[in-house]
Amino acid sequence: MSDLSIIDWLLSSGNSIDTKEIPSLALWKHLFFQLTSNVQNTADMAIAGGFISDRPAYAFSAGYWSALYCLIPSLPGKTITAMCVTEKDGNHPKAIKSELSSKNQNGETIWLINGSKKFVTGANEAEVLLIAASAGTSESGQNKIRLIRVNNHIPGITIKPLKDLPFIPEISHGELEINNVQITESQILPGDGYANYIKPFRTLEDIHVTAAILGYLLRIAFLFNWPQSTKEQVLALLTGIKTIALSNPLQSVVHIILSGVSGMFSSFLNSIDLYWKLTDDKTRSQWERDKALLNIAGNAREKRLSTAWSQYES
């Protein structure tokens, strides 16, 4: 990518899109990391990744991985990472039963993780796992969550592939078993695992996946000659989502503005329904199948929005 702004790059690239099919996530990953290797802004990473995607599933991956890089900038480059939080009772702090424990061995502190995760996105492809585990309870009885970074292929990690979802089947999901996985203290990320990582990631994922899907839709608009006004609307939405991406995802105002942008995004999606008939059958069927991913976690977003507005109501 050139030193031009992402919007200039999108406009400059609109008439020279590579239309060859990208047959695998592995090949798309190579293209994505090659394109974004020098991109520092994670929203731009997501947008660019969406724009080079020939299907929504790859665009989702661009958003998901870019959100993780935004959350933890120290993650190794060109590496697929997966967040491992959800257990059988959910993903809130009380539901996390996986345990982080320590013992003294020959005068050294040995750290161990044990537990399981019910649903891990990108489990089969991930090279790095971010595992949420309980380090006991506080004096007030709250679960103390820590986030631990481990390599996927170390002893004690077992991944059981799950059946493909009814949408984005190109992205794997799996169950994770963690049996006496030994780690060093340096692999335990600093700070509260829930407040510093899990909670903000929910918002960062919304922001970056939206950015990536908009990048994908702009690609489709160029490829199939959608009206110029439609492309302008995508660019306007991208400018708004980029601004939000630069803000603290825990701020109440971010949730309020994000809800407004999401509402405009929903209206935009309704307005382009008639243009999908201009695309080929495969492109159209993939979108009809995969657009359901945009409705995931809608209830959780509504709760966050309600909480955000309550900060400004007397």
Mean pLDDT, residues 175-195: 96
pLDDT of res. 314 = 62
The values of phi and psi at residue 183, to 5°, are -135, 170
By the 8 A CB rule, do 145 and 193 touch? Answer: yes
Mean pLDDT, residues 21-33: 95
Query: Model-level pTM?
Result: 0.95
- Predicted confidence (pLDDT) at residue 97 exceeds the cutoff of 90: yes
Report the candidate in 60, 54, 26 with the shortest Cα–Cα distance to residue 165. 60
Mean pLDDT, residues 59-87: 95
By the 8 A CB rule, do 146 and 196 touch? Answer: no
d(CA 272, CA 126): 34
Q: Does an H or E element contain 174, and which?
A: strand 173-183
pLDDT of res. 4 = 59
Q: Could you report the per-residue pLDDT of 136-167, keeping only the tens digit for each?
A: 998 888 999 999 999 988 999 999 999 988 99
pLDDT range class, residue 3, cuts 50, 70, 90: very low
Report the candidate in 294, 226, 310 with the shortest Cα–Cα distance to residue 262. 294
CA distances from residue 113 to 109, 149, 258 in whole angstroms, order as listed? 13, 11, 36
d(CA 167, CA 163): 11
pLDDT range class, residue 1, cuts 50, 70, 90: low
Q: Could you report the per-residue pLDDT of 194-242, keeping only the tens digit for each?
A: 999 999 999 999 999 999 999 999 999 999 999 999 999 999 999 999 9
Report the candidate in 85, 114, 87 with the shortest Cα–Cα distance to residue 101. 114
Mean pLDDT, residues 104-125: 91
Residue 201, token pair as written in the block? 């990631």
- Predicted confidence (pLDDT) at residue 108 exceeds the cutoff of 90: no
In sequence order, what are the residues at sequence separation of 6 or more whose Cβ sits closer than 8 angstroms to the Cβ of residue 215?
A: 10, 46, 47, 48, 49, 50, 51, 53, 59, 62, 238
- Predicted confidence (pLDDT) at residue 76 exceeds the cutoff of 90: no
Q: Could you report the per-residue pLDDT of 234-268, keeping only the tens digit for each?
A: 999 999 999 999 999 999 999 999 999 999 999 99
Query: β-pairing, 99-105 with 157-161?
Result: unpaired
d(CA 312, CA 252): 9
Mean pLDDT, residues 25-30: 95
Mean pLDDT, residues 116-142: 93
pLDDT of res. 94 = 93
Domains of the chain in start order, with CATH, are 6-72+196-310 (no CATH), 81-188 (2.40.110.10)
Residue 41, judged by CB atoms within 10 A of its CB (0-12, 13-18, 19+), counts as middle
pLDDT range class, residue 192, cuts 50, 70, 90: very high
Share of the chain above pLDDT 90, in %: 85
Q: Could you report the per-residue pLDDT of 38-54, keeping only the tens digit for each?
A: 898 999 999 999 999 99
Query: β-pairing, 81-84 with 128-137?
Result: parallel
- What b/e string do you get for 64-93 counting C-beta neighbours within 10 Å, with b at 16 or more? bbbbbbbbbeebeeeebbbbbbbbeeebeb
By the 8 A CB rule, do 82 and 120 touch? Answer: yes
pLDDT of res. 77 = 83
